[in-house]
């Protein structure tokens, strides 16, 4: 386990050295991470999201292929908590698997393929049944950020309604037409809710998408509590949202994603975080 954590750490450090200067750019082109490191991070992301309660048996996260912007990488159809390196497959932007070898694939892969088409700035896509966004997805009350870490939700979050696309019937995004409609609802924003179903979260790196997914869920829970108190609320405004995202883009002020990514990996790997009193050497 320690070896795996160190290896992940190395993969991440490599990723950081290569990519951080160029976060915010379009595609990977200026800063593509190493393929092996990218797959390690994708597997870690699956585990972290499971451990943090954002995904359960359903949900899937993908990354744009570091070497080909017309491909993406995602696990075969498995519960995210069980995804391993050997489960990662390659898909094209029609959602077609490149080398299927008889493996089951996610029926909602079109969420990923259509967003990678529509959004050159996006390199990671997550679809989850994040529980606490569901109440907002079925309500008239908009999901808005009250928490600094969720400022990327400013000013509010669009809701995708399948009935406008495909009449009544299945809520699953099981073809390109539905995927394209979802991408249109998402527009240029980082998160869209899917009525009665869950959400989609996108971003320039898999670490940012994982953080956005977790803080969207936290913000939803705290907003319900704030609404319970009654009366007017103060929301994170667009400028505050941009300031927070700027910090994260530049990994400044210690409020980038790397500090908490290390913690999340350790929690996901089942390490009893916090139980050792520390060694003689300072941590990285």
**Is residue 235 close enough to count as binding its own copies by CB under 8 A?**
yes
Which residues, including other chains, have CB under 8 Å from residue 257's CB and lie 6 or more apart?
205, 207, 208, 210, 211, 248, 251
Whether 108 is catalytic: yes
**Does the protein bind its own copies through residue 129 (CB under 8 A)?**
yes
Query: Contacts with its own copies in 156-195 (CB under 8 A)?
Result: 161, 168-172, 174, 195
Kindly write out the interface string for residues 194-223 of this chain, putting x where it contacts its own copies by CB under 8 A and - elsewhere. -xxx--------------------x--xxx
- On the CB side of 60, how many CA atoms lie within 13 Å of its CA? 22
Does position 91 bind its own copies by CB under 8 A? no
Q: Does 135 bind its own copies (CB under 8 A)?
A: yes
- The active-site residue, picked from 108, 161, 217, 267, is 108
Closer Cβ to its own copies, 118 or 226, answer by number: 226
What is the token pair recorded at 61?
């996260």
Give the one residue of 15, 73, 76, 191 binding its own copies; rule: CB under 8 A: 76
Residue 250 binds its own copies (CB under 8 A): no
Which stretch of DSSP H or E encloses residue 228? helix 206-229
251 binds its own copies (CB under 8 A): no
Q: Is the peptide bond before 155 cis (omega within 30 degrees of 0)?
A: yes
Q: Which of 122, 121, 77, 120 is nearest to 95 (CA)?
A: 77
**Closest distance between its own copies and the C-beta of residue 65, in Å?**
19
How far is 29 from 225, CA to CA, in rounded Å?
Answer: 42
State whether residue 63 is helix, strand or coil: strand
- Catalytic residue numbers, as ranges: 108
């Amino acid at each position: 386990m320690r070896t795996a954590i160190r290896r992940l750490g190395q993969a991440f450090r490599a990723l950081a050295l290569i990519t951080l200067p160029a976060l915010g750019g379009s595609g990977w082109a200026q800063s593509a991470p190493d393929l092996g490191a990218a797959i390690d991070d994708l597997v870690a992301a699956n585990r972290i999201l499971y451990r943090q309660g954002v995904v359960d048996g359903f949900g899937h996260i993908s990354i744009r292929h570091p070497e080909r912007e017309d491909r993406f990488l995602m696990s075969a159809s498995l519960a995210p908590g069980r995804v391993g390196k050997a489960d990662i497959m390659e898909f094209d932007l029609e959602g077609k698997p490149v080398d299927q070898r008889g493996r089951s694939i996610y029926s909602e892969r079109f969420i990923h393929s259509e967003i990678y088409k529509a959004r050159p700035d996006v390199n990671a896509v997550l679809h989850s049944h994040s529980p606490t966004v569901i109440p907002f997805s079925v309500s008239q009350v908009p999901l808005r950020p009250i928490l600094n870490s969720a400022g990327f939700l400013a000013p509010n979050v669009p809701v995708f309604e399948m009935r406008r696309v495909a009449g009544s019937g299945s809520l699953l995004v099981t073809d390109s037409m539905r995927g394209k409609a979802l991408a249109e609802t998402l527009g240029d924003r980082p998160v869209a809710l899917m009525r009665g179903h869950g959400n989609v979260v996108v971003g320039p790196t898999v670490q940012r998408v994982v953080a956005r997914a977790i803080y969207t869920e936290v913000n939803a829970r705290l907003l319900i509590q704030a609404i319970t108190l009654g009366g007017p609320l103060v929301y994170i405004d667009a400028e505050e949202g941009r300031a927070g995202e700027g910090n994260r883009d530049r990994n400044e002020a210690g409020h980038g994603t790397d500090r908490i990514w290390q913690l999340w990996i350790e929690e996901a790997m089942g390490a009893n975080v916090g139980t050792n009193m520390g060694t003689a050497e300072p941590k990285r």
